[in-house]
């Protein structure tokens, strides 16, 4: 058969392939020989790939295994011909292309077996095992004296700015949202994800930041997926999803999801294809990664994004009730050494972000001036009341009694 193995641990994977055919020779009485080729081997060792010898072995049915490290010497038509005429027939010849980046020609994708072997098992790696890192990456980090946790974060750079780790620097306390955070923590490793819906400034992003205090939270910047070149957006998404799979267990945070996947008419269906591919990944991925996505605008959401069974919970964040407003104001009053403002607490529709901004500004100019000059979200957002009603209609509200029953 013709295999493409996705890996960066070339030596480990080559050794694994060689051992598998050695066992086959012992257990089944075959006589497989393994040949390894790469540009470096040709340059350094003077051992080059002989196409004539290869095709002769293919036709003669010799028990040969060819491993090509970081290159493929065959075009799409040659692959199709070899697989259809020989490899699916009587020829025992097997071909392995080892590469993290080799693009399988679309016209022969059905002829090729694609295998992901980026990471070793704990048994394979032994003392060099660390979640999310290949054996080579672990050895390199140790050689350079790097912290392995920091080395793991560098994996995300492969996605070209699409992925980054939330760093828990000076994270505000998520007042009144503790039960939501505990619920999401409990679902990690068991569920799919939680969709947080609400008007801006109600604490959706703050939930993710507070989770980052104790666990790894990866921000997924969906807007960076898009490219003006045909097919490049889809490729960027595949790379990002592969990188996440390699990274391992974490929370994945997608902010303002509706903007990232707005299905407009002018993008030739790119947004729709990206949404479909992402939702397929959401269904099939390993359960170690838990998705937290936020929506600010509920008026134009793709139906397939919010269908039943897609998410564990759809939680709604509206402006908090009086009791929670009191807690939030008390928190910021203590933080900035300012008095508790009862009038501020009495304002219906004020958001936690409004309160935080007023107290931050008040630290410099005083509370009365801050209240006068800081504009509230409800006064700036043209559809504020409509969004609040939609959140109440379609979600479990985090400020209501319903959320207590879930925790």
Q: Which two tokens stand for residue 213?
A: 């205090």
CATH number of the domain within which 228 lies = 3.40.50.300
Report the candidate in 39, 56, 58, 57 with the shortest Cα–Cα distance to residue 48: 39
**18/91 same-domain check:** yes
Nearest to 246 by CA among 316, 151, 376, 346: 151
Same domain assignment for residues 262 and 342: no
From residue 397, alpha-carbon distances to 231, 235, 400 in Å are 40, 37, 6
CA angle 220, 381, 354 (to 5 degrees): 75
Residue 131 falls inside a structural domain: no
Residue 146 domain flag? no
Residues 357 and 271 in one domain: no
pLDDT tens digits, residue range 168-224?
777 888 898 988 999 999 998 888 899 999 989 999 999 999 999 889 999 998 888
**Domain edge (last residue) among 117, 142, 173:** 117
Answer whether residue 205 is part of any domain.
yes
- Same-domain check for residues 79 and 218: no
Q: Across the beta sheet with 250-254, what order do the strands follow?
A: 163-165, 217-220, 250-254, 289-295, 193-198, 313-317, 396-397
Q: Do 252 and 266 fall into the same domain?
A: yes
Q: What is the CATH number of the domain that holds 90?
A: 3.40.50
Residues of the chain with pLDDT under 70: 260-268, 286-287, 401-407
Q: What is the DSSP string of 329-353?
A: HHHHHHHTT----HHHHT-TT--HH
Same domain, 164 and 303: yes
Residue 132 lies in a domain: no
Between CA 320 and CA 140 the distance in angstroms is 50
Domain boundary among 61, 85, 117: 117
pLDDT at 344: 94
401 shares a domain with 285: yes
- Whole-angstrom distance, CA of residue 361 vs CA of residue 358: 5
Residue 269 covered by a domain: yes
* pTM exceeds cut of 0.85: no
Answer for the pair 293, 193: CB distance below 8 angstroms, yes or no: yes
Closest CA to 200 of 130, 294, 111: 294
Residue 168 within any structural domain of the chain: yes
| Domain ranges, residue 187 | 160-317+393-406
Residue 307 sits in the same domain as residue 329: no
pLDDT number for residue 227: 79
Determine the Cα–Cα distance for residues 139 and 283; give it in Å rounded to an integer. Answer: 34
Do 108 and 8 fall within a single domain? Answer: yes
Answer yes or no: do 327 and 313 share one domain.
no
Close Cβ partners of 201 (under 8 Å, ≥ 6 residues apart) = 351, 352, 353, 354, 377
In whole angstroms, give the CA distance from residue 15 to residue 269: 44
Are the beta carbons of 92 and 59 closer than 8 angstroms? no
Are 206 and 295 part of one and the same domain? Answer: yes
And the tokens for 11? Answer: 């030596």
Q: Is 257 domain-assigned?
A: yes
How many domains, in total, are found in the chain? 3
Classify residue 262: in a domain, yes or no. Answer: yes
CB contact at 8 A, 246 and 151? no
pLDDT in tens, 2-15: 999 988 889 889 99
Question: CA nearest 182: which of 397, 404, 383?
Answer: 404
Query: Cβ–Cβ contacts within 10 Å for residue 282, how many?
Result: 18
Residues 150 and 169: their CA atoms lie apart, in Å, by 16
Length of the chain: 407
Q: What is the H or E stretch that residue 361 is in? A: helix 352-365
Same domain, 305 and 209: yes
Q: CA–CA separation, 70 vs 88, rounded Å?
A: 24
């Amino acid at each position: 058969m013709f295999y493409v193995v996705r890996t960066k641990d070339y030596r480990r994977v080559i050794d694994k392939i060689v051992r598998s055919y050695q066992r086959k020779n012992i257990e089944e009485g075959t006589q497989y020989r393994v040949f390894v080729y790469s540009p470096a081997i040709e340059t350094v060792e003077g051992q080059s790939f002989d196409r004539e010898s290869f095709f002769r072995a293919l036709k003669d049915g010799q028990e040969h295994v060819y491993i090509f490290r970081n290159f493929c010497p065959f075009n799409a038509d040659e692959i199709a011909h070899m697989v259809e005429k020989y490899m699916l027939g009587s020829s025992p010849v097997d071909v392995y292309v080892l590469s993290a980046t080799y693009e399988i020609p679309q016209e022969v994708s059905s002829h090729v077996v694609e295998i992901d072997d980026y990471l070793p098992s704990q048994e394979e790696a032994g003392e060099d095992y660390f979640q999310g890192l290949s054996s080579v990456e672990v050895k390199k980090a140790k050689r350079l004296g790097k912290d392995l946790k920091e080395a793991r974060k560098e994996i995300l750079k492969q996605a070209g700015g699409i992925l980054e780790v939330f760093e828990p620097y000076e994270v505000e306390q998520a007042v009144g949202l503790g039960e939501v955070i505990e619920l999401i923590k409990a679902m990690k490793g068991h569920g799919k994800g939680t969709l947080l819906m609400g008007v801006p400034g109600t604490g959706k992003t703050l939930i993710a930041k507070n989770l980052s205090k104790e666990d790894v939270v990866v921000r997924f910047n969906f807007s960076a997926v898009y490219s003006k070149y045909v097919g490049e957006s889809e490729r960027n998404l595949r790379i990002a999803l592969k990188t996440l799979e390699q990274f391992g267990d974490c929370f994945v945070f997608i902010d303002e999801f509706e903007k990232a996947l707005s299905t407009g008419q002018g993008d030739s269906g790119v947004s729709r294809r990206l949404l479909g591919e992402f939702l397929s990944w959401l269904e099939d991925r390993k359960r170690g990664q838990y998705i937290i996505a936020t929506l600010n605008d509920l008026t134009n959401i793709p139906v397939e994004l919010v269908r039943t069974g897609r998410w564990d919970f759809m939680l709604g964040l509206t402006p908090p009730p009086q009791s929670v407003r009191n807690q939030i104001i008390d928190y910021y009053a203590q933080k900035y050494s300012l008095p508790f403002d009862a009038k501020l607490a009495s304002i219906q529709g004020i958001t936690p972000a409004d309160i935080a901004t007023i107290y931050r500004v008040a630290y410099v100019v005083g509370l009365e001036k801050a209240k006068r000059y800081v504009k509230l979200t409800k006064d700036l957002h043209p559809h504020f009341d409509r969004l609040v009603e939609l959140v109440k209609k379609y979600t479990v509200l985090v400020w209501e009694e319903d959320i207590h029953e879930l925790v």
